[in-house]
Amino acid sequence: MSSRWPATRRHRLAWMLVVACLACTNNPYPSSDSEKKILYTSFGDAPRTLDPAVAYTTSAHVITGAVYDTLLEYHYLKRPYELIPGLASDLPRSYRSEDGGIVYRFELRQGVLYQDDPCFELGGAGRQSREVLMADVAFALMRIADPDVNSPVAEPFSNVAGFQDFTARLSERREADADFARRPVRQQYAEVGPIDGVRVDGEHVLEIALASAYPQILYWFAMPFTAPLPWEAVEYYDGRQGRDRLADHPVGAGPYVLAEYNKQSRFVLEANANWYGALHPEWRAPGAVYPFEGEERDRQAGRLDPAVVGRPLPFIERVEFRREKESIPYFNKFLQGYYDASGVIKESFERVIHEGGLSEEMRALGISLEKTVQPSVYYIGFNMDDETIGTPAGERARLLRQAMSMVIDAREYARLFMNGRGVPAQSLLPPGIFGYDEAYENPNRRIDLERARQLMEEAGYPNGIDPKTQRPLRLTFDTPDTQAQARLRFEFFTRSWRQIGIDVEISATNYNQFQEKVRNGSYQIFMWGWVADYPDPENFLFLLWSEMARSKSGGPNTANFSDTRFDELYLSMKGRENGPQRLAEIREMLKILERQRPWIELFHPEDYALYHGWLTNVKPFGMSFSTTKYRDLDATKRASLRADWNEPVLWPLYAVTLLSLAVLVPGIITFMRERQ
């Protein structure tokens, strides 16, 4: 008996090998999904939070922008960017209040529902959803004002009348009354509120009164921060008794719901059956149907096909995000057809791109390329509080900064480290933003080594020699990246400055240590970037407004730049609509920055995005907004091409079958002999 067990185990193993080999495929998805409209994409690390009042990253907005719908949104195709109604029935009307302030009046579509969710049982047994009300938008705004929420966008809402007063009242009451602080936040807000400038009129009307002119406030109503948020979700998803936290369980009224959220492996968005576009296609709301108009290049690219124009959204029923830690495996899976879109990785750039366009190999696969200049800017900044490089050193430091600016070749940097995917920046304003002038040339961004050496001499550093030490002037470049590849990039700048005699030491730390240095002011030179929150010059120029100085308020003015005239122009410019006066003020501000050089503007990044031919209606947006609902795909075409591109290699199957037979036949012979 004992002699048979090894043979029996061999038999089982052999059959298991045969079955496994027969079932083997490199397709990571179930075959039952092959004909479904499922968009496949990836993520690297899970977002830290999906709380709409706090989430401020592109990776988070991919989800929150699809789950939370907003009063306003952007026209998908038009450039320059144009606001259109979302949950609001129309663009808001504005009028002057009795005290002369501006008031915006929003009207909400009636009959809009939230997604189904267990949290709504707090409002009544058996309830799975309810109507979206303007009180939910007011609630979302109070959460932005709540210091315990710590929303990163509280500052722009300080332009709303009474916003900061509400924050102060809430803080004081919590400190004075421990029982009050333990109550649900909805009750706390009700007792200390409302915000004076946030007025709810009935169930479907909201007025926003501004304490100061700030027309950019409308852009914020196209972002998830101001999306209507049910109090039930905040109260229910508190992380207690096995419940999720709100940071991991968004509850909104958008076109998709987050059906699965495994931070280690997979996210899944599914079409929201309660979305107003699905429930009420007869409304033909601007944000719920594919747009009727766009740019001429949209027509040429087939994005205004009569067969799709005006059709109800969304087209794609599910979006699956698979975790991919490395770019090369992701790109290879894209080429196999297992991901629908991809960037162009550095390792494959020459294979994919030829003379600025797609290679023959990529075109043969039916892949298309979309190039987009992001509304963003990357720059080298100086700490203007520093005694050597900043304002305390006066004219000497200003000339030094100018000289350092003249030897940094941003075009060469982009060629070496970005495959040329960057438009050299002449100012902080990128293309597509009001005030950008393609013909403008910043004299201090023109590469001129001789002039830079002359400026060094005028600054009192002939040949870069510091008269105090009789050695080359020594400065420090702080970076938040310790990787060897990053060091090569930063050495590009230090070598450039060495041409004018300056010895710049790279001080590389991790991101948290770098941030600590910035908080403490113990840095001289740094490299940073900014992506537009909304398409307005104010969203870039505020980065150098003195009230936003990191040393003063912890704001994004990491250069700690302060100039009285610049501040005056900024405050005047930000309250104006686009026009000649605003343009004149912007140009004067750029002249100040041109001379003072708190930054060395480097480049506006250019995105290269690849799309398979089965994915349609694709237009990169540039800013951090979800555009999933506009995209469509041909699942049948995708399945056919996947099969062509991934024909199984059968020789391992034959080899394993022969090996299995070699294991099985002796066992069968032995078994038959024993039976005899």
Can you give the pTM of this predicted structure?
0.85
Name beta bridge partners: 320: 40, 268
> For the CA atoms of 459, 465, 471, 474, what is the dihedral angle to 10 degrees?
50
Helices then strands, counting H and E runs in the chain, come out as 24, 24
pLDDT > 70 in the chain, percent: 92
- Give the tens place of pLDDT for each residue, 636-674: 999 999 999 998 755 555 665 676 666 666 666 665 666
Single-letter amino acid, residue 178: A
- Mean pLDDT, residues 184-206 taken together: 97
| Across 97-106, average pLDDT | 92
As a dihedral over the C-alpha atoms of residue 17, residue 23, residue 27, residue 32, rounded to 10 degrees, the angle is -150
What mean pLDDT is predicted for residues 580-590? Answer: 97
Terminal-residue alpha carbon distance, the chain: 16
Q: What is the pLDDT of residue 641?
A: 96
How confident is residue 363, by pLDDT bands cut at 50, 70 and 90?
A: very high
CA separation for the pair 535, 92 (Å, rounded): 18
Query: Distance between CA atoms of 449 and 407, rounded to whole angstroms?
Result: 6
- The reported pLDDT for the residue numbered 274 is 98
From CA 262, how far away is CA 243, in angstroms rounded? 15
Position 4 pLDDT exceeds 50:
no
pLDDT given at position 27: 87
Look at residue 543 and tell me whether its pLDDT is greater than 80.
yes
User: 27-54, pLDDT tens digit by residue?
Assistant: 899 999 999 999 999 999 999 999 999 9
pLDDT at 123 over 80: yes
**What number is the average pLDDT over the span 601-626?**
94
Nearest-10 crossing angle of helices 484-498, 410-417? 150
Q: How many residues does the chain have?
A: 676
Determine which of 327-336, 359-368, 564-573, 663-672 has the lowest per-residue pLDDT on average.
Answer: 663-672
Name the average pLDDT for the chain.
92
Q: 114 in the Ramachandran plot: left (φ > 0), alpha (ψ -120 to 50) or beta?
A: beta
Give the burial class of 234: count Cβ atoms within 10 A of its Cβ; 0-12 exposed, 13-18 middle, 19 or more buried.
Answer: buried
H or E element at residue 425: none
More confident residue, 55 or 518: 55
- CA angle in degrees (0–180, nearest 5) for 474-479-482: 115
Q: Which two tokens stand for residue 355?
A: 């003379």
| Residue 186 in tokens | 């909805």
Digit-coded pLDDT (tens) for 498-517 = 999 999 999 999 888 888 88
Residue 213: predicted pLDDT: 87
**What is the arithmetic mean of pLDDT over 69-81?**
95
pLDDT at 674: 64
Q: Which position has the higher pLDDT, 79 or 390?
A: 390
Tell me the two tokens of residue 442.
């910043």
- Residues paired with residue 381 on neighbouring β-strands, in sequence order: 526, 599
Q: Average pLDDT of 98-103? A: 89
Q: Is the pLDDT of residue 73 over 80?
A: yes
**CA–CA dist 656, 649 (Å, integer):** 13
Q: How far is CA 131 from CA 13, 136, 224, 395, 666, in A?
A: 58, 10, 18, 62, 72
Model confidence over 290-341: pLDDT tens digits? 999 999 999 999 999 999 999 999 999 999 999 998 999 999 999 999 999 9
Q: Where do runs of H (alpha helix) occur along 121-275?
A: 134-145, 163-176, 178-182, 185-192, 217-220, 231-236
Angle at the Cα of 366 from the Cα atoms of 361 and 370, rounded to 5 degrees: 95
Q: Which of 297, 106, 388, 369 is nearest to 220 (CA)?
A: 106
pLDDT of residue 672: 60
Q: Percentage of the chain surpassing pLDDT 90?
A: 82
The confidence band for 24, taking pLDDT boundaries of 50, 70 and 90, is low
DSSP code per residue over 317-377: -EEEEEE-S-HHHHHHHHHHTSSSEEE--GGGHHHHEETTEE-HHHHHTT-EEEEEE-SEE
At 467 the pLDDT is 93
User: For residues 200 and 142, is the Cβ–Cβ distance under 8 A?
Assistant: no
**Mean of pLDDT values over 96-103:** 90
